[in-house]
Amino acid sequence: MAISGAASRGAADGDDSAASLQGLEHPLLHAYEARKDDPAAAADHEAQRFGPEADGGASFVRTCFNGLNALSGVGLLSIPYALSEGGWLSLALLLVVAAVCCYTGLLLQRCMDASPAARGYPEIGELAFGHGGRLAASAFLYAELYLVAIGFLILEGDNLDKLFPGTSLGLALGGGRLVVVSGKQLFVVLVALVILPTTWLRSLGVLAYVSASGVLASAVVVVCVLWTAVADGVGFRAQGRMINVSGLPTALGLYTFCYCGHAIFPTLCNSMKEKKKFSRVLAICFAACTLNYGSMAILGYLMYGDDVKSQVTLNLPEGRVSSKLAIYTTLINPFSKYALMVTPLATAVEERLLTAGTKNKRSFSVLIRTLLVVSTVVVALAVPFFGHLMALVGSLLSVMASMLLPCVFYLKIFGVARCGRAEVALIAAILVLGSLVAATGTYSSLKKIVHEF
């Protein structure tokens, strides 16, 4: 109800915001409108823009698929672990985080409606705080996307190693030397090679077909886990704890990570044929993903209790058809999401390095995206701690991009006086919650990562 209510208000405000701002005498808007006419500024479009869609933009349905794919996926596997960290009562926090992140997504849309030049997250930051705001938004945005992409590779390596234990590959080098790559490391490299071509796609309309497979896979994984419990003898024997105060920071960080699609929202909105309907896209995506996340959290915690691992698929019994199907479908999600995460970062790098006179832009684009994939492989091999890494991303970067920055930018652009007391109070509460999650969750995650090393 909280999500749908926020979405309804956002839809009304989003549709009317452009008209209401036409006569708004706001110095920030005037200053930014003047700057966007500067040729140097016009050439700097690191705000997650894509080339024109062949059909004039992505349809409502395609955007829904891309939005669902951005919000669902890897977090689905860690959500039972998050529930085990916080206890049963922490499920209420999942709903709170979902409602807050949906609302802040609507705030981003309103900020974009404030000026035609505010086409992406960095440009929203610049509209609010000038060049400093742009740098802050870009730093958190691209760091989050980069680390999430690394998490995908770690996930793939873990699950493939469970399916095919003991797999190794020998590489002959000069001088008769033989290098053997095995286990998770081998699978991380192989997965990166398979994913690489998807990063070369530039159209979100085309990428929607890849996203559709990821959305379907998320639903299939939940069904497979349910089948394992009911038909394969695992059952629902675990009772679990009602509340675990010490684990709440980790739980909140992972819950927030589940809804860390804000970095992609401006890209999705810009790709639509009918941008005014984006608030409806948000409502549908958040409602569907919350239902899926909640179902998986309850199933996994009832099955394994406090023994559930950071990826619930690692708990599933070996040799069972349902277990293998769950893991196989789990592997589809990173394939479908990796390109969606990397593309805004790749686009920003391309627009910084490529100039109007650059020849073979397509070849340079492919090279840049290939190098980005290679760099994520290197980091994934160096830091193979999926659960702790995702908790860190959720606690620090996702909280900043999904909760704190949208609220701060919105208040700065529109002003406290125009927002109304109720909305200011709500935003203040979100800022307090986000700051608490960021501080406690980041400390807890870093402490666990250092302990693992």
> What is the DSSP code string of 246-285?
GGHHHHHHHHHHHT--TTTHHHHHHHBSSGGGHHHHHHHH
Give the Cα separation of 422 and 79 in Å (integer).
Answer: 32
Which helix (H) or strand (E) segment holds residue 172: the answer is strand 168-172
> Which residue ranges form the domains of the chain, and what is each CATH number?
2-452 (1.20.1740.10)
What number of other Cβ atoms are within 10 A of residue 180's Cβ?
9
- Model confidence pLDDT, tens digit, residues 35-93: 444 444 443 333 344 444 444 577 888 888 888 877 876 688 889 999 999 999 999 99
Give the Cα separation of 206 and 271 in Å (integer).
Answer: 11
Share of the chain above pLDDT 90, in %: 26
pTM, two decimals, is: 0.74
More confident residue, 430 or 273: 430
- Model confidence pLDDT, tens digit, residues 178-229: 667 777 888 888 989 988 888 887 665 566 666 677 778 888 889 999 999 9
